Amino acid sequence: MALRTIRTEGDSVLTKKSRPIKEMTPRIRDLIVDMLDTMYDAMGVGLAAPQVGILKRVVVIDVGEGPIVLVNPEIIESSGEQTGDEGCLSVPGMAGQVTRPNYVKVKALDINMEEVEYEGTELLARAFCHEIDHLDGHMYTELVEGELHRVTYEDDEEE
């Protein structure tokens, strides 16, 4: 497995807009596999390509229900509201309160460039929003209500 370096807040790559994937290539397949390895190694629940320095619209997520790969993801429906702690592998050891929709439906392509749709509530809905924001150069820290606070490793859910 190949781990990639996770870029941290302050790196300008995290503020840039990512480009859509036009076709699947061996390089992008490798990127996706490396992103999954990197996310699991860092014990995160999600990772977006810009976090490893690649401005392409690719996201991986695993909230404990198995890996989800999203190529060119779009939120096509959302409803409800949840407010809770959110973290990010690019802001290690920190979390802050963010309000997100409680239900999100996403349309994307999978690793074979086949159309897929996912529905998520709670943590998965939060992860979809958080990771797709990364593809547009946005960090959760822009949305935090109140102050960021330190988290202990045990109760940490970093995206």
Question: Residues with catalytic annotation?
Answer: 131
Residue type, 54: I
Instruction: Give the CB-side neighbour count of residue 11, counting CA atoms within 13 A.
Output: 16
Q: Output 157 or 159, the one with its CB closest to Ni ion.
A: 159
Q: Does 59 bind Ni ion (CB under 5 A)?
A: no
Nearest residue to Ni ion on Cβ basis: 88
Contact set for Ni ion, span 71-90 (CB under 5 A): 88
Q: Does 159 bind Ni ion (CB under 5 A)?
A: yes
Residue keyed to tokens 């990010």: 88
Q: Output 3 or 24, the one with its CB closest to Ni ion.
A: 3
Least separation in angstroms between CB 115 and Ni ion: 25
**Binding pattern to Ni ion, positions 87-116, x when CB under 5 A?**
-x----------------------------
Helices (H), the chain: 26-41, 122-135
Q: How many residues bind Ni ion (CB under 5 A)?
A: 2
Asked whether the beta carbons of 110 and 116 are under 8 A apart, the reply is yes
CA distance 149 to 108: 33
Q: Does 157 bind Ni ion (CB under 5 A)?
A: no
**Strand ordering across the sheet containing 94-100:** 82-86, 94-100, 145-150
Question: Given the rule CB under 5 A, which residues bind Ni ion?
Answer: 88, 159
